[in-house]
Amino acid sequence: MTVYLDYAATTPLRKEVFECYVSYLQQLGNPSSVHSSGQQVRRALEEARESLARSVDCNRNEVIFTSGGTESDNLAIKGLYWQRKAEDEKRNIIISAGTEHHAVIDPIEWLEKHDGAEILWLPIDSEGVLDLEFLSTFLAEQGERVALISLMWANNETGVITDIPRITAMAKQYGIPVHSDAIAAFGHMPLSFKDSGLAAMSISAHKIGGPVGAGALLVSRATKLVSLVHGGGQERGMRSGTMNAPVAKAFALAAEIAVAELESEMQRLEELRDYLVDQVQAITKVAKHTGSQVKRLPNNAHFIFEGCSGDSLLFLLDQQGICVSTGSACQAGVNGPSHVLVAMGRSSRDANGCLRMTLGQETTKADIDIFLKALPAALDGALKAGLPS
């Protein structure tokens, strides 16, 4: 039996979402075609757009379908930067944080290397909280040079939540668009694109029971950005290419279900998460709970296990059929300390010893108890192995 505690990496495809996806795969037609078959597929696509818009509280025309979160982040960051720089050459500063997902960090650093961008990485405390007073002071001094701000709504490793509406209110005074990677947050906390003040927001289907390869970038109607992909001009001219109606329908249904169940699932998962945290800390003194003093996602439990390697602990738990993580699955195969913990000012020793457990729709107390029963032996083995030199 496998106990899956890695919902932040990906989630099981919901049965009803799978059935929806398969049923629309059987429809023939290109949604850009004018004949009846094409228009039937087009209607399905636009129904999905309308449904997803309701789930994220935005206008249907603000939904740009993409292949996933990484594409959405790249389109937002590069597209906004190039648009702003074309409008005003002196706006070349991008503000972000070292705790962001690499789908945000890497395109920003690419723009620094290839297109003259300057980066301001915001200071972060040891709990993962951004220094927004520093941001306010910087904007007052150099706001006219800032092209965009990109900050995630909730951290995918620690679960720490950022006050996005406060940031957009600051940025508005200086005409600065704000993008947020909300991939970890969507479906796990209440979100409203309309009320957020954001220019753009990234979301992904496979984090909420939908298929891999489905994402969206929400782009406000007042926001312009340069396209990365040129061709047929689909998706408001921002993302050319034949649109994938089956994937869009599956994504929209997964979002609809996640939002409908949000209130009850938040309470259920928070209770399970708190039980997990309390029991882990009762089992061992070497487990330090990250972000315990700040607002965070209800399904996330992140620990630093002092004196051992998170990778060792992960593999020893995996041998007992328990799936957990040391951080982002998008960095799979890359050994080294968590860049998120390092950005929080934690030591390399701490950043090498972290473990993340994330819960979801199929997680039960029995799953948590199996994990807790397996933890002491795995921890003993990891402590004996020690930290990498």
β-strand partners of 356: 302, 325
Distance CA 194, CA 176 (A): 17
For residue 372, which of 281, 265, 300 has the smallest C-alpha distance? 281
Q: Catalytic one among 20, 58, 323, 330?
A: 330
Q: Is 330 a catalytic residue?
A: yes
The terminus-to-terminus CA distance of the chain in angstroms comes to 34
In this structure, what are the phi and psi dihedrals at residue 53, rounded to the nearest 5 degrees?
-60, -40
Q: What positions carry a catalytic annotation?
A: 330
